[in-house]
Structure formats: C-alpha cells, structure tokens
Amino acid sequence: MAVSPYALQHNEAYFPDPYAFRPDRWLNVLGNEEACKMAHDALRAFSTGSSLVYLESSLVLAKTIFYFDFEPVAGELGKVGEGTPGARDGRDKISEFQIYDIFTARHDGPYLTFRPRGDLCKKDREVSKK
C-alpha cells in the first residue's frame, strides 16, 4: 500500500501552505530524529530489488518517449484531467493534471495520441536481432 507523494506534500495537515515555495520546511526539526530513523529502517526491507525495478521502469519510460510523439487527443477528451478555475484545494490549476488520492492514486485520463517517430522501432528491432 502506498500514498502518492503529491497527495502528502500538498496536504495542509503535514505541510502548512503547501503551494508556497518555502525551502525552510525541509530543515531539520529538533525532536524528529527518532521518527526519521524509524521511517528509514522501515524502507530498508523494500530495497532488495528496487534498483532493478527502477532501472527497468526507467528503460520502458525512456523508450516510450524516444519512440513516440504524443499529445492530448483533440476535443473534449484532451481536456480531461484539467483543473477547474475557482476550485479549492489546488484543483484550480488548468495546466496541472488532477490526481485523486485513494491508496495510491485515482484519475481519469490523460487521453493521448501516440504516433511512431519515423522507423526508429524497426531499426532497434533489426539491431537487437543481430
């Protein structure tokens, strides 16, 4: 189970004035050392294969971005996920895709159109066959 970092970092219960640039909030707070140590120790159990997972995920994402041009679909579906002017709690930002916190995240969209970039995929397959 996980919680989206965006949801945590924009929750006023944990970060007062979450949309303001305040780098001082990350400075050490006295008396918090034990909580930090516990959090660090808890994450240690997940580190065994995490390097490989991050490597594979990065490779898939990089190849997708390299091989394809993508853009929002035309029409109303291309606007799904935009913020709503006048909405509260940071939901007013049109240029920021809206994600809703559940256990990790819930969202509708984005709806994208992917088009292969030239024959890059074909060239890569030919090289890998050799």
Residues 52-109 have pLDDT tens digits of 888 999 999 999 999 999 888 899 998 888 888 898 877 888 878 887 766 666 778 8
**H/E stretch holding 93:** none
Q: What is the pTM of this model?
A: 0.42
The pLDDT mean for the chain works out to 79
| Cβ pair 116, 67 in contact under 8 A | yes
> Is residue 31 very low, low, confident or very high in pLDDT (cuts 50, 70, 90)?
low
Tell me which DSSP letter residue 123 carries.
Answer: H
Q: Which of 4-8, 15-19, 46-50, 56-60 has the lowest mean pLDDT?
A: 46-50
Mean pLDDT across 27-45: 68
- In this prediction, residue 66 carries a pLDDT of 92
Is the separation of the CB atoms in 124 and 85 below 8 Å? no
